[in-house]
Structure formats: structure tokens, C-alpha cells
Amino acid sequence: MPLRSARTRGVPRDTVHHPLFARYYARVSVGAETRMGMARVRRRMLAGLSGRVIEVGAGNGLNFSHYPGTVSEVVAIEPERVLRQLAVEAALRAEVPVDVAPGAAEALPVKSEAFDAAVVSLVLCSVRDV
């Protein structure tokens, strides 16, 4: 069971709204896929995964197209509304099933579900309580 402080216990799952950051991140991250080689990094990071995966801080869903066919399901958690909508659109194009849900790393919206892997990329800087 994850430890939670009084500050994060019961954090509403849809309270993060940073539209300026979301638009900036969406634009910069797409460019970084090719210009900075992030697509290659994502492929390498996700290559050995299989089974059920939880992705915390899915952003605009750029990881989704890099999950190998050995992944049976991705549960993608994203607290920011604008980025989450972009992730939903990316999930529709993914080759593996992706369920995008609102939530924060400090209060994941999953009960005692079992996952075979957890993916946390480019998000820990915004997690308030690990």
C-alpha cells in the first residue's frame, strides 16, 4: 500500500489544470520526438515490457505508439485535463489497448489491481509526494 501524507490523501483526481504548460509541453514534446531522439529513447525504454502496464503521468500519450505487442493493456494516468484529452486521442491510434484515466501519482485511481510494470517518464519533477 503506498504511503500518503495528509497533504495528498484524497487528492481529487481532476484538480490539475495548467493550460499554458499543457500547450507548451504538447508542442515541444512532439518536436523532441525526432529532433532530440526521444522516440528512440521511448522505444528502448518500453521494449522489454509485457502484460499489464500502468503509466503514471502519461502527458499527451507519446509513449503509447512505442509499447510492444507483448503489452496486453496500458492504464495511463494523467492529471492535467488538456494533456489527458491529447492522450485519449493518442490512445485511439495505439496498437495496444490503452485506457486513459484522470488521477495523480500521489493518489492513483486504482485499488489493488496487479500490474506487471510501471512506467514513469518525464513526470517525477511534478510529483509532490513520492
- Inside any domain, residue 11: no
CATH number of residue 26's parent domain:
3.40.50.150
- Is 36 part of any domain? yes
| Count of domains observed in the chain | 1
69 domain-assigned: yes
Is residue 12 included in any domain, yes or no? no
Determine, yes or no, domain membership for 1: no
Is 71 a domain residue? yes
The residue-averaged pLDDT of 100-124 equals 85
Predicted confidence (pLDDT) per residue in 41-58, tens digit: 999 999 999 999 999 999
Q: List pLDDT tens digits, range 71-103.
A: 999 999 999 999 999 999 999 999 999 999 998
Which residues constitute the domain of residue 75? 19-126
Q: Is residue 3 part of a domain?
A: no
DSSP 63-128: TGGG--TTEEEEEEE---HHHHHHHHHHHHH-SS-EEEE--BTTB-S--S---SEEE--S-GGG-S
